[in-house]
Structure 1
Amino acid sequence: MTFRKRLQYLLVKRLRISNKNALTLINEGKVLVNNAEVFENVVINPEDSVVFEEQILQEGKTFLYVAFYKPRGIETTLNLEIEDNLKAILPFKEELFPVGRLDKESEGLLVLTNDGRLFDKTLRSEHQTEKEYLVIVDKIIDEDFVQKMSAGITILGKKTLPCRVEKIDDFTFKIILIQGINRQIRRMCYKLDYGVLKLVRVRIGEVELKDLAPNGFRYFK
């Protein structure tokens, strides 16, 4: 609930005082939020620091957002008991988790973060966030293939949503999806009798892979 995210609730919980006393402290400007006096019962986010009389009531959390190039052959899992797991190759001291997945035989962009809000937001907008891929197949791409892939193909008993497909050369195409069915592109190609030789995710929303090499990463905001 919203009231649980407000400064008053935090003061009551941490200082063990009444709601009335908490509001008095706020109104008198005795509480610092991010090193500034506040006079309103503001919403407190996880990244906000809260201090009362030099007592730290909440130490603001630093959120990290990383674009990481997952190489082929790595499972998108942090479970160390699973062979070829992602966690074993991550170079970060911080505990970061992937937002979304990329199957073992595919490579390219993963977004890593310690911000659970980004994870929740991505899940809620699963059918709105664009994901762009470059795909190399084992047969010459014709117009029929492009049209059928664009219109949607029935896999796992359900027709995929329409998507954007662009032929790059005889064996390479770009595809932009707004949904995330397991191994979706591979299954779609298989239904049209095409085998996927290489699949690289190059963009998620506004985050791009750009010039990252396998195992490479960069921070973003």
Structure 2
Amino acid sequence: MEPTRLNKYLVDAGVCSRREADRLMEEGRITVDGRRAVLGQKVTGNEKIFVDRKPVKKPESIERVYIAYHKPVGIICTSDPKAKDNIIEAVNYPDGRIFHIGRLDVASSGLILLTNDGDIVNAILRAEGQHEKEYIVKVDKDITDEMVTSLRNGVHIGDDRPTLPAKIMKMGARMFSITIVEGRNRQIRRMCEAVGLNVESLKRIRVMGIKLDDIPPGKWRFLTEQETSALKAALV
């Protein structure tokens, strides 16, 4: 094969995203033919490549998998094997490396997608602001109509711009669903704080057309062929 950047090769091999590959190189956790890999390095696929002392399979030998996981509260969205309660160990996928698409903070629960298809990860990250994510939120006070209007129209959460319009549906005095297309750090918690609410629980129930449904906390399932096809089609 023609020489390709090592970070792209690791994406194709289902090891991690390009960003994660660069981080692993900077931390000295990738070697090529026994030598520490460097940013921008190219490989042909004939080298002996190791990540965290584990050999990397050639991309053409990798079967792509797509997983929906119900992340419980307390699990951390990181692929760092040294981190306690990291999501990769929690999922415990038995056949090769996978990595998570996006994040949920440690105090939140719900749907997380995982895959060994780095192209899908990069496509979703590039499409930030275009695809819906839906959550169920419980708060510490009664929700007023004014609060709903503010959350729906967009609020300032300390960044340089207000949040984009959101879909809001009240489900009770202190519970509502919210659908957003952004993914800023702790966005929904910060949105609630902006209107005087504190989040007591936060669960993601949908990513694009993929739903959490009845997956028990801590369990996962493979996406159906229909879900996988729809996911890929939405990212074209």
Deviations 1:167-214 (A, max 9, x none): 011111000000100000000101111110100000000111000111
Q: Secondary structure at 2:110's aligned position in 1?
A: strand
**Inter-CA distance 156–208: structure 2 relative to 1 (3 Å threshold):** same
Q: Tell me what 2:176 maps to.
A: 173
Runs of 4+ in 1 over 3 A off after TM superposition: 57-60
Percent of aligned pairs with the same residue?
37
Q: Tell me what 1:70 maps to.
A: 71
Q: Tell me what 2:158 maps to.
A: 156
Confirm whether residue 103 of structure 1 aligns to residue 93 of structure 2: no
CA distance in 2, matches of 1:59, 1:192: 51
Q: Tell me what 1:123 maps to.
A: 125
CA distance in 2, matches of 1:109, 1:216: 10
Unmatched runs of 5 consecutive residues or more in structure 1: 6-56
Q: Secondary structure at 1:202's aligned position in 2?
A: strand
Q: Tell me what 2:12 maps to.
A: none
RMSD of aligned Cα (Å): 1.9
1:212 counterpart letter in structure 2: I
TM-score under structure 1 length normalisation: 0.72
Q: Secondary structure at 1:159's aligned position in 2?
A: coil
Correspondent of 1:212 among 209, 212, 215? 215
TM-score under structure 2 length normalisation: 0.68
2:73 counterpart letter in structure 1: R
Structure with bigger gyration radius: 1
Aligned length: 168
Q: How far has the Cα of 1:87 moved from its partner?
A: 2.1
CA distance in 1, matches of 2:70, 2:59: 34
Q: Tell me what 2:17 maps to.
A: none
1:141 counterpart letter in structure 2: I
Q: Secondary structure at 2:100's aligned position in 1?
A: strand
Note the 1:87-98 alignment, pairs <5 A: 87-93=88-94, 94-98=96-100
Unmatched runs of 5 consecutive residues or more in structure 2: 5-57, 229-236
CA distance in 1, matches of 2:142, 2:158: 25
Q: Secondary structure at 1:179's aligned position in 2?
A: coil
CA distance in 2, matches of 1:91, 1:146: 39
**Inter-CA distance 80–61: structure 2 relative to 1 (3 Å threshold):** closer
Q: Secondary structure at 1:95's aligned position in 2?
A: coil
Note the 1:42-61 alignment, pairs <5 A: 59-61=60-62
**Inter-CA distance 61–81: structure 2 relative to 1 (3 Å threshold):** closer
CA distance in 2, matches of 1:59, 1:127: 32
Q: Secondary structure at 1:135's aligned position in 2?
A: strand
